Every structure is written in C-alpha cells, then in structure tokens.
Structure 1
Amino acid sequence: MGTSHHEPMMRSHREYLNRKNDIGAWDYTTNSKNLDRFFYDGMKRNKDYDNIVTIGMRGDGDVAMGKGDDAENMKTLSRVIDGQRRIIKDIYGTEDAVPQLWAIFTEVQRYYDAGFTVPNDVTLLFCDNNWRYIRRIGTDNERKRKGGLGMYYHIDMNGGPWNDRWVNTTTIPKLREQLNLAYRTGIDRIWIINVGDLKPKEVPIDFIMNYAWNPDAVKPGDEKTYLENFARSIFGEANAADIADIIAKYSKYNLIRKPEIQVPGIFNH
C-alpha cells in the first residue's frame, strides 16, 4: 500500500486538513518541526505493514511547493527528504529499509531536469503528460539505479486544462504502445495507474492488469484479440466480435471529442 504523489510518508491530505489548526501550515520552510512529527507518526503507525513510501513534498492540495523560485524550492525539498530519511532510519534501522518512491510530477519534473535527485535506492516515479503519453524513457544511467524506475499513468484525470473523467477515452492500441515503450526502456519497477471511478474504466484497467502480468506476451496486433476475449468472457461467443468492435469504437469516438470538453462555439450551427 502507499499514498499519492502529494501525500508523503503514509499520511493522507485529509489527515492534514483535519489537523492543520493544531500543527500549522503545510510549509516546511516555517513549520518543519511540526511536519516532521506529522511524518514520523504516519510512518510509526504503518511500521508493521507492507508499504511503498512516497518521499518528497509538494504544496498543499497537489500544487507546487513554496513561493520562491525553483532553486529555492529545491533547497527546501532537499531538507524535506533529508528529514524524511532520518525518520525512516529512526523507525526501521536504516534509510533504505522500506521501498520508497519519488514522484516526478509537474514542477518536480523541472527540478529533476535541473539536476535534483534522490538517494539511489529510491524509485524514480516518472509521470505521463496526463493524456496517456509518457514524458520520457529510461536512460542507461537511470536503469542502473538500485531503486529503478516507475511510472504514474492516467486513464482518469481531474485537472486543468480539461478533465478526463466519467467516460473511457483510452484506446487499447495506444495503451499497449505506451506501456510497452515504458517497459522496454526500464520503467518497470512500479506502475501506478490513476483509474478514478472503476466502472467507466474497466476495459483499460483489465488490459493493464493483463499486460503488466506478462508484457512480452502481448504483441502489436493483439489488441483486437484481447477485446474479443474480454467480450467473450462476459457476453459469450456468439456476439463477441461485434461487441469488441463496439468497445473499440466507443473509446476511439469519445477521444475525438469528449463530452467533458464541449464548450459553446465548438461546432457550427
């Protein structure tokens, strides 16, 4: 189990909101003592469970941390991670005693590109661009890291400039292509999929789980067979091919013009 890219050290954002009047601002430059205690308590209560621990820190509510420029924010982030690693060592005995990830997301991508990094045992969790295209592939040096590389991938996205929710807009060929690109370039230690509500996304979720189990077994051109097998498992043999075709076109047509991004004037009257 773990917590999201903006919820470090096994603490949820809701927990902070419920206690912010007691522990002060979500600002490590002015409130590091209280936040370190908050992080410590989260790790302590989860010590006996199997966890992937998110380290680092973003701003309150999944935004950029700090009011300074990137250079100043990176200095603060370095202090945050040093403090978190001391907490892990204090509770578990060593700094690398539990799996950890650092989510390279939005402004954090700039920090990484500028040279900021984390200890070698921490998994670098790269992110797609919110629209199911991975931002980068693993380099030779990155693949040699003890912590390896991982991926955070959206098939549901709540955020600007447009949401991507409620209906499935993830085509299976695109999904196979992007997951395969990640896998072949060493981004394979951890895959975290943002799925939103489960029901509208059950087809891509099912495909991802099958693909992740054995990526080498799913080749280009297998997408149609997968969808037919999916349809057959639910509706039986007689209509499997026709239903698979409908499922494939459903996501394709939704992707062309999603209901969630309709605005006045987009079509001629």
Structure 2
Amino acid sequence: MGSDKRGAAYGIFHLSELLGVSPWNWWADVIPKPLDEVSIPSINTTSSPPSVKYRGIFLNDECWGLNPWASKTFEPEEGNIGPRTYAAIFELLLRLRGNFIWPAMHPCTNAFYSNPENPKTAQDYGIVVGSSHAEPMLRNNVDEWHRDEHGDFNFFTNRETILNYWEKRVEESAGNESIYTLGMRGIHDSGMVGAGSMEEQVDALQDIIEQQRLLLSRHVNPYPSKVPQAFTTYKEVLDVYDAGMDLDDDITLVWPDDNYGYIHRFSGPKEEKRAGGSGIYYHLSYWGRPHDYLWLSSTHPVLVWEEMAKAYYFNSREIWVVNVGDIKPLEYNLSLFMDMAWNMDNFASSPQVRAHMQQWYSQIFGPAAGQSIADLKWEYHQLNFERRPEFMGWSQTEPTRKTHFTAYNHFEAGDEAQKRLNRFEA
C-alpha cells in the first residue's frame, strides 16, 4: 500500500530487497542468490516521508555508451534511447526510491517528447520529468530548435517564435507530472544570446520567467504557484541571480556544484524561507572544461556526503538531481546519493558513509568478499581524491593548454610518483 503509485512501488521493491534482489539486479547483472525458502520477519515497514521531495538523475554525455547501446543492442527498433530504455531506467529509479529525471539531451539523442511513448512511460512508472539548466519549459533545444525554421535563439529579436515554441510543449505536457525549468540560456550549455550588460540580463530573465509563468497559467493551472517550477543557477546564471533578480517566491531555486563536487553556495536565511524551497544539481560525471571525468567513478563518497549534508542542513530539500552520465560505472555513488535523499537521518556523520559502502558491497558479493572489496574501493577513492586518474595529464585546461610533468616527482620529496604507482598496483 502507498499514498500514491510511487509509494506502493517503493513498498514492493523494499520487499524485493528483503528477498535478496538488488536494485541493480538488471543494470549490473546482480543475480539473486537462489533460496529454498524465504522468511521475512513481521516488522513495521511504515515509511516516513522522504528527506528530499524530488530525487533523481540527469542522463548526460550519453553518446559514449548509453545511446549506442540502446540504439544498436537494446532498442534497435527505436534506433535511439526510447521508451524501452527509459522503462528500464525508471524501474531502476523506483528501486533506488527515486522519482525524478532530466532526460538525455545531447545531439546524438532524440528529444524526450519526440516519441509520445517516452512521457507516457514516465507517467506509467510515476516518474516526474524535468529538464536541464539549458532546456526551458521541457524543450530539448539541441534536437528541437532548428535555426532554418525558427531563426536565432534570441529572445530580444525572436520573442514570439520562442514563446510559441515553449507554448506548444506546455500544451503537450499539461497533463503529465512535470517540473518546468524556467529562464533561458543558449541552445546548449552556453550563455543567453542577445543581452549585453548584467542589468540587461537581469531584466531579460525576469521578463522571460514572467512570460513562461503566463504560459503555465494558461495551459496547466490558473495559479502558476501550484505548478512545480525550478530555476537552476548554473554557471553564468548564478552571477545574474546574484546581481539582483526578483524571483517569484514559489519557484524552487536549484544550486549547482562547480562540476567537480563542491557546491558553489547555499540558501541564505531569506532564501531558506522561500515557499518553493531550494534544491541541488550535483555532478558524479562531467564532460567539459577545464577537465572531464567520464570513464571512472572518481568522486570520493565522503565528499558527496559532506556537500549534500550541508545542502540538507541549509534546507535544500525540494530537488536533488545528480548528473550520472551513462549511469555506469557510478552504481555505488548513485546508490549513496539516492539513499541520502531518501533518509538523511541514516547519514548523521561521515563514518556512516564507509559503513554504508561495506553494507552495499556485502549485499552484492556476500559478507567476506564485500568487506575486502569495500576496503579496496575505499583506498581507490582515497587515491582519486588526491588526483583523479583522468587528470594526470596535468594541464590547466584541456585541450587548450599543454600538458606538463606532474607534481608526483620521481626525484624529489621522497618519490611521491612511485608511492602513488605502488598504491594503485596494490
């Protein structure tokens, strides 16, 4: 039983875990151990409300693995990430007690709304759909904005075309569970086009948001304050917000990290009292300057805990969304992030992170192997915290600056280079 379909699903999947089925049984081939009989103790499994209201993932930089796999192997009939792939992702989210997604949006991927079965699948699974910091009003500009047809993505010179473009998506999505991203940046991950001074950018964003809320009142709810909306202060948008934007109180402020796991800022005393609250956009995977980290899970779990614990302390509890790239190989860190979003009371101090890691690996590999694997992974994360393996080229900004010899010198300071190699070898 649940207060809604998600609550019922969480209950079912909780029982599934008690029977020995990992949330990662399909995505990571965690085969349940065959049992002759199962016994579930008579326990009170009444769940308290989750610590964070909307808990989910951003599928991103998916052209490396997720999209080719979906296109060629899992869903060739779609030739892209489509409803079958999203159904598998949505089940994983429910098994991790999540309820929210920013869909994949790079040039290789069709826009989420291009196939009506995608949003329908989200509704079937009870997953709330939003869109990233660069995709206002559930629009995927990379796939859906065609310059030959629409002209420039410039609100100053092409206002009516852009408003009509947004309005069509609002009409299309009106009956679905959604969180509408407000504001405007460039077509992809770039700054807004057309504004010159900071004052012009502030005025433009306030005008844009006012027009977006009018669209919501026209098609979703006469009272836009009752429609979930988010304003993500990513990159240059944080500067614009800090320059004096007057943001409606019911809009959720989403604070970003710096792309490397350190959250830029948190809500101040006045912002903590906003009716729309605040949330966090966090990275466990990143493709961009100055340096990428896509190929390994290299963020220390205690850093994830430290930053999200601060966010929770400063009442950022409305939305937690994490960039997980292709999902793999971030299984553990994603599980940690989602478990914290579900019940932060279980993570009152940093030692509970290591205990969580040991329990997680033990559930998958058995107590003996799980303990040794957790110890090995802890050392691996300690090494990555010193310097991510992807950053050993030691340049300031790739690919614009030359690489040079690292500070891990073989001939000074006790041969730190060899010590690092030895630790990795071990």
> Taking structure 2 as the reference length, what is the TM-score of the superposition?
0.61
Q: Superposition pairs for residues 171-190 of structure 1, below 5 Å?
A: 171-190=300-319
The 4+ residue runs of structure 1 with deviation greater than 4 A are none
Query: Contact between 2:228 and 2:251, CA under 8 Å: does it hold in 1?
Result: yes
Question: How far is the alpha carbon of 1:167 from its aligned partner?
Answer: 0.6
Judged with a 3 Å threshold, the aligned counterparts in structure 2 of structure 1 residues 14 and 61 are, in CA distance, closer, same or farther, namely closer
Letter in 2 for 1:132: G
* Corresponding residue for residue 196 of structure 1: 325
Question: How far is the alpha carbon of 1:211 from its aligned partner?
Answer: 1.0
- The counterpart of 1:265, out of the listed 399, 404, 418, is 404
* Residue 247 (structure 1) aligned with residue 377 (structure 2): yes
In 2, the alpha carbon distance for the partners of 1:103 and 1:53 equals 11
* Residue 161 (structure 1) aligned with residue 290 (structure 2): yes
* Corresponding residue for residue 118 of structure 2: none
Query: Contact between 1:123 and 1:150, CA under 8 Å: does it hold in 2?
Result: yes
Letter in 1 for 2:343: N
* Corresponding residue for residue 16 of structure 1: 144
* Corresponding residue for residue 396 of structure 2: none
* Corresponding residue for residue 74 of structure 1: 202
Letter in 2 for 1:230: W
* Corresponding residue for residue 111 of structure 1: 240
Letter in 1 for 2:142: R
Query: Contact between 1:23 and 1:34, CA under 8 Å: does it hold in 2?
Result: yes
* Residue 7 (structure 1) aligned with residue 135 (structure 2): yes
In 2, the alpha carbon distance for the partners of 1:236 and 1:43 equals 49
Query: Contact between 2:272 and 2:278, CA under 8 Å: does it hold in 1?
Result: yes
* Residue 87 (structure 1) aligned with residue 215 (structure 2): yes
Judged with a 3 Å threshold, the aligned counterparts in structure 2 of structure 1 residues 266 and 257 are, in CA distance, closer, same or farther, namely farther
Letter in 1 for 2:405: I
Letter in 2 for 1:22: E
- The counterpart of 1:210, out of the listed 339, 347, 372, is 339
Letter in 2 for 1:139: G
Question: How far is the alpha carbon of 1:84 from its aligned partner?
Answer: 0.7
In 2, the alpha carbon distance for the partners of 1:210 and 1:37 equals 40
- Structure 1 residues not aligned, in runs of 5+: none
Deviations 1:224-264 (A, max 9, x none): 21111111111101222211011112222233333332334
Query: Contact between 1:56 and 1:81, CA under 8 Å: does it hold in 2?
Result: yes
In 2, the alpha carbon distance for the partners of 1:194 and 1:137 equals 19
* Corresponding residue for residue 142 of structure 1: 271
Query: Contact between 1:123 and 1:149, CA under 8 Å: does it hold in 2?
Result: yes
In 2, the alpha carbon distance for the partners of 1:209 and 1:94 equals 32
Letter in 2 for 1:87: L
Deviations 1:18-60 (A, max 9, x none): x332111110000010000000011110111000100100012
- Structure 2 residues not aligned, in runs of 5+: 1-128, 394-402, 411-426
Deviations 1:187-226 (A, max 9, x none): 1111111111211111110001111111012122112211
In 1, the alpha carbon distance for the partners of 2:381 and 2:190 equals 30
Letter in 2 for 1:29: F
Judged with a 3 Å threshold, the aligned counterparts in structure 2 of structure 1 residues 235 and 217 are, in CA distance, closer, same or farther, namely same
Question: How far is the alpha carbon of 1:73 from its aligned partner?
Answer: 1.7
Letter in 1 for 2:144: Y
* Residue 43 (structure 1) aligned with residue 173 (structure 2): no
Deviates more, 1:70-79 or 1:33-42: 70-79
Question: How far is the alpha carbon of 1:95 from its aligned partner?
Answer: 2.1
Deviations 1:156-204 (A, max 9, x none): 1111111121111111111111111100111111111111121111111
Letter in 2 for 1:266: F
Letter in 1 for 2:151: G
Query: Contact between 1:66 and 1:73, CA under 8 Å: does it hold in 2?
Result: no
In 2, the alpha carbon distance for the partners of 1:25 and 1:251 equals 45
Matched residue pairs, number?
268
Letter in 1 for 2:175: D
In 2, the alpha carbon distance for the partners of 1:91 and 1:228 equals 49
> What percentage of residue pairs aligned between the two structures are identical?
32
Letter in 2 for 1:43: V
In 1, the alpha carbon distance for the partners of 2:245 and 2:164 equals 25
Aligned to 1:249, the other structure's residue is in SS state: helix
Query: Contact between 1:2 and 1:53, CA under 8 Å: does it hold in 2?
Result: yes
* Residue 133 (structure 1) aligned with residue 262 (structure 2): yes
Aligned to 1:239, the other structure's residue is in SS state: helix
Question: How far is the alpha carbon of 1:266 from its aligned partner?
Answer: 2.4
Aligned to 2:230, the other structure's residue is in SS state: strand
